[in-house]
Amino acid sequence: MPEIRILSDQVANQIAAGEVVERPVAVLKELVENSLDAGAQKIEVEFRNGGKSYLRVEDDGMGMNPDQALLALERHATSKIRKASDLNKVGTFGFRGEALPSIASVSRFVLRTRPISSNEGTEIFINGGKMIHCKDCGMPPGTRVEVSHLFNSVPGRRKFLKTEVTEATHLIHMAKLYALAHPSVTFTLIEGGRTVFRSPACDSPADRVREIFGRGLAESLTPMDAQENDLRLSGLLGKPGQSRSTRKEMIFFVNRRPVDSRTLSYAVIEAFHTFVPKGRFPPAILFLEIDPAVVDVNVHPSKREIRFRDDPKVRSFILNSVLAHNRAMTSPSSGFKPTLPVVEYEEENGRQVPKIDSQALELFGQSKTTELSQPKPNSLQETISLKKKR
Ligand code: ADP
Ligand code: MG
C-alpha cells in the first residue's frame, strides 16, 4: 500500500501557486491589491520581459515590522480576516493569505518593508521557496516586492506562459484597471525603463480614463450615477451611437474590484439594444457599489468571477439605471441627434453589399465563409429541416 504523507510547506505552496499565480499578471494583481489594502497613496509597478524576468511593485502603505513580514510569508497568514464569518463582509481585496508564500515559492523573491513607526526596514530574500536571508535595510516607509525569474524552478509552468508581448499586454491592461478604480492613488507603470503611464492622484475616473486610455475613449463616454437603496452604479457610458466590435471596452468593477460578470455585461448590452447594432458592444466603464455581504468573491482562485446573492435584483437595477441614463441622453431637451449606425460596403460578384463584421460573427462561433455559403431558410419549417441536415 502506498505511504500517505503530508506535503512539505514548500511543495504545498508551489501547488497553491498554480492556482493563485498562473502567470505574471496574477502576480501584479496580487501585489497591487496588497498595496491598496495597505492604504497606499502611491503605487509604482515596473516589469521587464512580460514580467517573466522581473516584476516590482512598490508602495508607500503601512508596511510591516520584521515579525509581521516573516509571518506574511507563511501559508494562510493574513491580517485581513479572523474567522469564517468574516468572509461575509470582506472589505479588503485579499483575505486568503496565500499570495505572498505562493509567489515566493516559484520565483526569486525580495520583500523590503518598513512601517512608518520604525526607523529601519526589513529585507527578506527567498529563492524558490527557500529563505536565503532576513536582515535590516534602509528604506522609506512602505513596501517593495521584487519578483524575478518567475517559474524558473517549475519549468512545467513556465512552458505555459505566452510570448513576452502577450504577457506584457495583460500586465498593462491589469495595471490600468486598478489605476482606473483608484483615482485617488498616484499610479506609475514602467516597462523596461520606459514609462507606460504615470497618473497623479485625480478627482474622478473620467480624468483617469483620459490619462491612461487617451482622449479618444474619454470623449466617447458620458458620466452616469444612479442609486437605489444600498446599490450604487456610477462611471462612464458610451454616448448613444458609439459601439465597438469587441467587449474589450466593457469594463466592470464591483466594490472597486475588476470583475468579469455576465450579469453586468448582459444588463448593459440589453439596455443599449436600441442604440447598438446586434453583434456590437457599447463602451462602458462602470463601478457597482454593493454591500460586501451580498457578494461572494470566493468562487474563483483569482476572484475574477463573483456571485451576487440576489442576481435578479442587481440585474434589474443595472438595466433600469442604464436605460434611464440613455433616455435622458437622447431626450429632445438633451440636443441629441440620432445617427444611424455606419454601414460599410464591400464588393461581391460585382455588386456592392453591406460588409459583415467578421469579429462579430466570431462571437457566435461562425466564420464569414460558412455563414455566407449556407442557404437562407424562409420559414420555421425550413429552419428546422436545415438544422437537421447540418
Ligand atoms: P492576503 O492579502 O490574502 O492577506 P497575502 O499573502 O497577499 O495575503 O499577504 C499576507 C499579509 O501580508 C497581508 O494580510 C498583509 O498583512 C501583509 N502584506 C502583504 N503585502 C503588504 C504590503 N504591500 N504592505 C503592507 N502589508 C502587506
Ligand atoms: Mg493579498
Do both 86 and 35 map to the same domain? Answer: yes
Does 211 fall in a domain?
A: no
Pocket test for ligand 1, best of 13, 33, 36, 37 (most atoms within 8 A of CB): 37
Do both 182 and 36 map to the same domain? Answer: yes
Q: 141: burial class by Cβ within 10 Å (0-12, 13-18, 19+)? A: middle
Does 183 fall in a domain?
A: yes
Mean pLDDT across 338-361: 57
Strand order across the beta sheet in which 231-238 lies: 221-228, 231-238, 284-289, 250-254, 257-259
Number of domains in the chain: 3
| Residue spans of alpha helices (H) in the chain | 9-20, 24-37, 66-72, 99-105, 155-158, 164-181, 205-213, 215-219, 262-271, 311-330, 358-363, 368-373, 380-389
pLDDT tens column, 49-73: 999 999 999 999 999 999 999 999 9
**How many degrees, rounded to 5, is the angle at CA 153 between CA 152 and CA 157?**
70
**For residue 323, what is the domain's CATH number?**
3.30.230.10
Nearest CA to ligand 1 atom 17: 72
Do both 308 and 369 map to the same domain? Answer: no
Does 4 fall in a domain?
A: no
Pocket test for ligand 1, best of 32, 75, 78, 107 (most atoms within 8 A of CB): 78
Do both 66 and 157 map to the same domain? Answer: yes
Radius of gyration of the chain measured on its C-alpha atoms: 25
Rounded to the nearest 5 percent, the helix, strand and coil shares of the chain are 35, 25, 40
pLDDT tens column, 141-179: 999 999 999 988 777 777 788 889 999 999 999 999 999
Do both 45 and 178 map to the same domain? Answer: yes
Do both 35 and 177 map to the same domain? Answer: yes
Cβ atoms of residues 31 and 143 within 8 Å? no
**How far away, in angstroms, is 100 Cα from ligand 1 center?**
7
Do both 231 and 169 map to the same domain? Answer: no
For residue 290, pLDDT over 90 is answered with yes
Q: Which domain holds residue 292?
A: 220-334
**pTM exceeding 0.75:** yes
Does 214 fall in a domain?
A: no
Which of 206, 230, 257 is at the close of a domain?
Answer: 206
Best CA proximity match to 124, nearest among 64, 213, 77, 191:
64
